[in-house]
Amino acid sequence: MRRIQRCVRWVHKKVTEEDITAFRNIVGEKGVIVDDVTKYSMDWLGKYSGECPAVVRPATVEEVSEVMKYCNEQEIPVVPQAGNTGLVGGSVPTGGEIVLSVERMTNIISTDPLSRVVEVEAGVILQSLEDHLLDHNLTVPLDLAAKGSCCIGGNVATNAGGIRFLRYGSLHQSVLGMRVVMPNGDIVDMRNKLPKDNTGYDMKQLFIGSEGTLGVITDVVLQVPTTSSSCNVAFLGCQTFEGILETMKLARKHLGEIVSALEFADEECVRMSLHHTQNPHPLGEEKAPYYLLVETLGSNEEHDMEKLENFLNIAMEEHVTTGTIAQDGSQAKLLWAVRENITVSFKDFGDKNVKYDVSLPTSDFYQCVTDTQARLDTKLGEGKANVVGFGHIGDGNLHLNIISKHPGCAEHLEPWLYEWLTIRGGSVSAEHGIGVMKRDALKYSKAPAAIELMKSIKSMVDPKNILNPYKVL
């Protein structure tokens, strides 16, 4: 078995005109793009990009299979790509790989409202799937800020999390089946539609979160929940972070099963988000340093409102100093917009920003922000970088962001931050994945034996290392 050396660049074949012609023969003229490929070769952050000789866009699983077969024979490296909204550079070439885009595979194959199962092609945009499911009183079990551009195939390949993780769990749970094209072109059809199927190894789990390094997902079968008729969103402010933690405890206790999202943001994040959207602050002048967004989804308006008011009465006696409840659908959207526009607003305030997506014990959540700020104040000087935090506090997932116009923030934080997390049993990447950005950090969150096992599997399914090489491992 050949060992894959991480530091040695795998020698792949350079793409030639013959190869491009071969691709055109498989996917048709329209299916191949060679000019103006920036949309595919650069990531959403504008941070990662590589030379891309061709973008190949198959329309069927058979075409995907033919493309992979050809690339495997010719040893051409391939980067599978869906919505290209990833944040760790996993969906773009590092230099010389072709992009295999599933953007033409946008069919919703079938919807079964009784068993609540939907079968879709990998290129279906998340928002489109949501719109379709709404007509059947169903909803997608995940929701993230990129939903207007990301595709379900990519979500599954990266095991995307999002704001509904708290309520609906991970994709490992919601994906019932899939169809995958292996690096050598073999089509593996595992499109099971049943919630219970204990027949052999559950191979689809390997591909969920594999970030396009083990196979190209072409179809996904999802178990989807029913929509809830009653939705409430509350936006609460506390003076201390401990207040937020206590309020979360109260929410879990008094709202119980109707809680669907618990999101955190500090005032800085809210300020930047509102600056970007130009919307007024939901709390007017009654601001607070720490905010908690609580969403409930249930089947009975009156019951839910009663629970919510009971919770709020108690919470206001304890740590909540200011807050509001959305009075209708539009206000609910506005409150969510505050949270959803945080990431996109950072570009307005700094051009050398660094972002980290970490998992850590909830009690250490804000300490991470404070310690990181202290470190950068020492290393760079005060005022040179603004460290802010927001994220899925209900899942212990912090999005730590450094807003700065000064280069070099990352150097002062790596590996310091990873070590800080490891001591506390945290994860270097809660939901964004490894991609190309966190390859060197993988060892902080996975034991050597686990990493070796990953490499064995990788080299077994992709001996020529043509599928998304240089990513993850």
Task: For 313-323, give one letter per residue: b (16+ CB within 10 A) or e.
Answer: eebeeebbbbb
Interface of this chain with other proteins, residues 334 to 363, rule: CB under 8 A: 334-335
User: Is residue 108 near other proteins by the rule CB under 8 A?
Assistant: no
- Minimal distance, residue 439 CB to other proteins, in Å: 43
We find the least distance from the C-beta atom of residue 139 to other proteins, in angstroms, to be 14
Q: Is 309 in the site for other proteins (CB under 8 A)?
A: yes
DSSP-assigned letter for residue 279? P
Give the total of residues touching other proteins (CB under 8 A): 28
Question: Least distance to other proteins from the beta carbon of 242, Å?
Answer: 20
Measured from the CB atom, is 321 or 386 closer to other proteins? 321
Report 174-233 residues binding other proteins (CB under 8 A).
Answer: 229
If we measure between CA atoms, which residue out of 400, 407, 390, 391 comes closest to residue 350? 407
Using CB under 8 A as the binding rule, whether residue 318 contacts other proteins is answered as: no
With beta carbons less than 8 A apart as the criterion, state whether 180 and 80 touch: no
- 312 near other proteins, rule: CB under 8 A: yes
Element (H, E) at 17: helix 17-27
Instruction: For 63-133, list the strands marked E by DSSP.
Output: 78-81, 98-101, 108-112, 117-121
Binding segment toward other proteins, per CB under 8 A, in 256-264, 310-318, 352-360, 372-380: 310-318
Does 369 help bind other proteins (rule: CB under 8 A)?
Answer: no
Among 326, 342, 354, 398, binds other proteins (CB under 8 A): 326
Q: In whole angstroms, how far apart are CA 245 and each of 141, 178, 250, 433?
A: 26, 39, 9, 26
Strands 354-359 and 385-392, by their bridges, are: unpaired
Work out whether 238 is an interface residue with other proteins (CB under 8 A): no
Q: Which stretch binds other proteins (CB under 8 A): 66-74, 115-123, 317-325, 372-380?
A: 317-325
Q: Which residue from 109, 134, 194, 453 is in contact with other proteins, where contact means CB under 8 A?
A: 134
What are the backbone angles phi and psi of residue 265, rounded to the nearest 5°? -155, 145
Distance in angstroms (rounded) separating the CA atoms of residues 73 and 67: 10
For residue 233, the cross-strand partners are 295
Stretch that binds other proteins, among 165-173, 240-248, 330-338, 359-367 (CB under 8 A): 330-338
Q: Does 282 bind other proteins (CB under 8 A)?
A: yes
Decide whether 331 or 422 has the Cβ nearer to other proteins. 331
Question: E strands of 95-154, at which residues?
Answer: 98-101, 108-112, 117-121
Applying CB under 8 A, the residues found at the interface with other proteins are 134, 229, 235-236, 280, 282-284, 286, 301, 309, 312-313, 316, 320, 322-331, 333-335
